């Protein structure tokens, strides 16, 4: 008889005060090991914690007796707040609030697309704070650090620049949703303040990057560039020749699983 998988706990916390307060939705799976490692899912722009990779991560945690932390940034999924108010600083603040609330001892960050940027910024903040949470490894899936500065700003059309100046945002069609992607002036300006590819990055932990070479959103040259900023870390880069941006096919999920398990095996 097959054992039924247990459900993670639904938790809600409030981040910010007054008009800035927003409710953040969390799904937390407690591990069977005391003071064990927690897998922390950091999703991408407009993605949520119920996506294919996030659910696969939770299943892997359950199989291995690990904790798993999934949550939605404000303006995403089950969390409150307006998407148009979102910035890297704001979503980073929420990420740190989730960790403060749950107090994991050791974490492996799994950052997808924009979540890779959040992961690298979080590593910088954890190093400054010297708190109780230790970053032990990262897996970055099609990472998009500095994407507003590196990938969006250089390619803005005159119409988009005009829309930013006059309306404070511009829209572009999304391959993954009927709703267009919205990029605000606040997001772009805040992105400049949160750039990480400006000098040597020292996360102090091993990193495995999974990158599709057929990614239409984040070119694999961006992952190669990121590696150049990580000379002090143990970095493995896996290029998937036919991989797209989502990397959610069964064979992609198998690579994600293998990357996490290898990091766990190596302590």
Q: What is the pLDDT of residues 19-41, one digit of tens each?
A: 999 999 999 999 987 778 999 99
Residue 77 within any structural domain of the chain: yes
Residue 181 within any structural domain of the chain: no
Residue 154 within any structural domain of the chain: no
Tell me the C-alpha distance between 109 and 133, whole Å: 12
Residue 84 within any structural domain of the chain: yes
- Residue 32 corresponds to which tokens in the numbers above? 């069977």
Label residue 90 by pLDDT band (50, 70, 90): very high
Residue 48 sits in which domain range?
A: 9-145+200-265
- CATH code of the domain in which 27 resides: 3.40.50.1820
Using an 8 Å Cβ cutoff, are 65 and 53 in contact? Answer: no
State the pLDDT at residue 5: 61
Q: Is 267's pLDDT higher than 90?
A: no
Secondary structure element (H or E) that encloses residue 220, with its range: helix 220-228
Residue 177 within any structural domain of the chain: no
Label residue 177 by pLDDT band (50, 70, 90): confident
- Cross-strand bridge partners of residue 91: none
Exposure string for 170-188, b = 16+ CB within 10 A, e = fewer: beeeeeeeeeebbbbebbb
Average pLDDT for 149-160: 97
Average pLDDT for 219-239: 97
Tens-place pLDDT, residues 235-252: 999 999 999 999 999 999
Q: Is 189's pLDDT higher than 50?
A: yes
State the pLDDT at residue 224: 98
Residue 194 within any structural domain of the chain: no
Tens-place pLDDT, residues 39-59: 999 999 999 999 999 999 999
Residue 106 within any structural domain of the chain: yes
State the pLDDT at residue 3: 47
DSSP-assigned letter for residue 85: G
Residue 166 within any structural domain of the chain: no
Q: 11-14: long-range contacts at Cβ-Cβ below 8 A with a sequence spacing of 24 or more?
A: 11/101, 11/102, 13/97, 13/98, 13/101
Using an 8 Å Cβ cutoff, are 148 and 113 in contact? Answer: no
Q: Average per-residue pLDDT in the chain?
A: 95
Label residue 6 by pLDDT band (50, 70, 90): confident
State the pLDDT at residue 132: 78
User: Where is average pLDDT lowest: 115-119, 129-133, 200-204?
Assistant: 129-133
Q: Is 2's pLDDT higher than 50?
A: no
Q: Is 1's pLDDT higher than 70?
A: no
For the whole model, what pTM was predicted?
0.95
Number of domains comprising the chain = 1
């Amino acid at each position: 008889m097959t054992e039924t998988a247990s459900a993670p706990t639904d938790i809600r916390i409030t981040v910010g005060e007054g008009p800035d307060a927003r409710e953040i939705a969390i799904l937390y799976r407690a591990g069977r090991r005391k003071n064990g490692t927690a897998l922390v899912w950091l999703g991408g722009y407009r993605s949520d914690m119920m996506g294919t990779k996030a659910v696969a991560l939770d299943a892997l945690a359950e199989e291995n007796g690990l904790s798993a932390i999934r949550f939605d940034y404000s303006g995403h999924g089950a969390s409150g707040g307006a998407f148009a108010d979102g910035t890297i600083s704001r979503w980073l603040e929420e990420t740190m609030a989730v960790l403060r609330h749950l107090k994991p001892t050791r974490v492996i960050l799994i950052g997808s697309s924009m979540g890779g940027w959040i992961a690298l910024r979080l590593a910088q903040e954890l190093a400054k704070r010297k708190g109780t949470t230790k970053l032990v490894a990262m897996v970055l899936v099609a990472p998009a650090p500095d994407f507003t500065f590196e990938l969006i700003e250089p390619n803005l059309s005159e119409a988009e620049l005009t829309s930013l100046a006059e309306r404070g945002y511009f829209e572009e069609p999304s391959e993954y949703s009927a709703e267009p992607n919205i990029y605000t002036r606040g997001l772009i300006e805040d992105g400049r303040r949160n750039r990480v590819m400006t000098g040597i990055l020292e996360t102090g932990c091993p990193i495995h990057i999974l990158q599709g070479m057929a990614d239409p959103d984040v070119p694999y040259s961006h992952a190669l560039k990121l590696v150049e900023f990580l000379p002090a870390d143990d970095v493995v880069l896996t290029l998937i020749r036919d991989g797209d941006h989502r990397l959610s096919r069964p064979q992609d999920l198998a690579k994600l699983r293998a990357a996490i398990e290898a990091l766990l095996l190596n302590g």
